[in-house]
């Protein structure tokens, strides 16, 4: 089970697979948990397999002027990525950015009025992507013109944490928010969501993800410490509520290889694996390889039952379900100098996160405690 170490002082924020090369992953990170400072983006190669212990290779990295909270590959051009940053969404060319000092984006879009929390490619219509922001909006962009959004989806009352798309429905997207709801949108009528539900006892909903096999099913994770399974045809109540985290559930992901396999990660530093075919004992694995909040989670599209995770502790792990994670030795990294920062207004704070300047492994505040710092 190999691991990868980010630059010192950088907290992992999100990890996503490369659709062009499924053994590669892109990791976004930020200084000071994203409160202040710059960011870094890493492209890593895990071709040695998750179980064999072969080292993860760094393909390259670059710095961003503000914190990087998410990143995804362009699904029409393997050399382009979109990064969600504290100062807007940015489009980078890999050849011009990897291991380059002060890499400059091809496009720096500043339409969002506060930091951008999510960047996700449209799984069904691969000529477009979405960004979500703490300014309460979701924006749809076309590959042909990333300088200006095609549509703005307004319906949430507070910060939007995540957007999920499905390859099985070109017009459907999910979103979740600090207002305590998930919302289902139809892009043919983007003026308002078609479904909206308070999902986690009116507490913050931090993550949503469509089932990869059935577009009617999706999962959510929230500050109430549960994972919930939903059917859009019966949206008033969850199909299941899965308790297993001791603090807020930050990320949920359905497996691309199985209709019933689901993973979650949270502020309790744990990764949980669930099998919905076993309703009496759905948890089939729980791992605690990280020393801080596990905020990034992704199934391997190349290796069944394999997960990639990243954490505020500055590490990424690549593990196989059923096997104990074992860290690899750290390797030297090239410098990744960010370009000069352009100031933007900072977002309001959220509960359940460490104070600015708190060292990794410091006291863990309980979800729902008074606000102390972003993310």
The β-bridge partners of 218 are 210, 230
In the structure, what pLDDT confidence band is assigned to residue 371 with cuts at 50, 70 and 90? Answer: very low
Q: Name the more confident of 356 and 91.
A: 91
**Rounded-to-integer distance, Cα 202 and Cα 145, Å:** 38
pLDDT > 90 fraction of the chain, expressed in percent and rounded: 84
What local confidence, expressed as pLDDT, does residue 52 receive?
Answer: 61
**Rounded-to-integer distance, Cα 89 and Cα 68, Å:** 9
In a 3-state reduction of DSSP, which class is residue 215? coil
Residue 258 in contact with residue 294, Cβ under 8 Å?
A: no
**Rounded-to-integer distance, Cα 185 and Cα 190, Å:** 7
Q: What is the mean pLDDT of the chain?
A: 90
Name the token pair of 95.
């050849």
For the stretch 76-133, pLDDT in tens is 999 999 999 999 999 999 999 999 989 999 999 999 999 999 999 999 999 999 999 9
In the structure, what pLDDT confidence band is assigned to residue 344 with cuts at 50, 70 and 90? Answer: low
For the stretch 284-309, pLDDT in tens is 999 999 999 999 999 999 999 999 99
Please, what are the domains in the chain?
A: 3-320 (2.130.10.10)
**Rounded-to-integer distance, Cα 99 and Cα 337, Å:** 9
DSSP secondary structure letter of residue 19: S
What local confidence, expressed as pLDDT, does residue 47 receive?
Answer: 82
What local confidence, expressed as pLDDT, does residue 370 receive?
Answer: 32
In a 3-state reduction of DSSP, which class is residue 33? helix
Name the token pair of 132.
């979500």
What local confidence, expressed as pLDDT, does residue 51 receive?
Answer: 64
For the stretch 225-266, pLDDT in tens is 999 999 999 999 999 999 999 999 999 999 999 999 999 999
Q: Name the more confident of 249 and 355.
A: 249
């Amino acid at each position: 089970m190999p691991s990868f170490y980010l630059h010192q002082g950088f907290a992992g924020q999100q990890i996503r697979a490369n659709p062009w090369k499924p053994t590669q992953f892109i990791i976004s990170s930020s200084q000071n948990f994203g409160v202040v400072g710059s960011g870094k983006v890493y492209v890593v190669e895990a071709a040695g397999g998750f179980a064999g212990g072969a080292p993860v290779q760094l393909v390259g990295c670059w710095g961003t002027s503000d914190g990087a909270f998410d990143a995804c590959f362009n699904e029409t051009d393997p050399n382009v990525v979109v990064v969600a940053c504290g100062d807007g969404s940015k489009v980078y060319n890999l050849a011009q950015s990897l291991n380059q000092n002060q890499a400059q984006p091809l496009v720096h879009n500043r339409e969002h009025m506060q930091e951008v929390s999510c960047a996700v490619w449209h799984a069904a219509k691969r000529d477009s992507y979405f960004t979500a922001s703490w300014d309460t909006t979701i924006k749809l962009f076309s590959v042909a013109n990333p300088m200006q959004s095609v549509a703005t989806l307004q319906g949430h009352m507070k910060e939007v944490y995540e957007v999920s798309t499905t390859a099985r429905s070109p017009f459907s997207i999910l979103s979740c928010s600090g207002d305590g709801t998930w919302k289902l949108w139809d892009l043919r009528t983007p003026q308002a969501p078609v479904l909206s539900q308070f999902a986690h006892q009116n507490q913050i909903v931090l993550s949503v993800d469509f089932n990869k096999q059935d577009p009617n099913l999706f999962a959510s994770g929230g500050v109430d410490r549960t994972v919930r399974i939903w059917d859009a045809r019966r949206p008033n109540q969850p199909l299941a509520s899965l308790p297993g985290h001791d603090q807020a559930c930050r990320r949920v992901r359905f497996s691309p290889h199985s209709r019933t396999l689901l993973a979650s990660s949270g502020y309790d530093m744990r990764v949980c694996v669930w099998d919905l075919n076993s309703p009496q004992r759905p948890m089939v694995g729980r791992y605690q390889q990280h020393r801080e909040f596990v905020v990034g989670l992704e199934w391997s599209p190349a290796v069944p039952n394999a997960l990639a995770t990243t954490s505020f502790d500055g590490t990424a792990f690549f593990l196989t379900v059923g096997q104990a994670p074992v860290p690899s030795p750290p390797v030297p990294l090239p410098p990744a100098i960010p370009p000069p920062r352009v100031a933007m207004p900072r977002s309001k704070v959220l509960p359940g996160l460490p104070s600015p300047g708190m060292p990794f492994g410091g006291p863990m505040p309980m979800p729902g405690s008074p606000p102390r710092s972003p993310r």
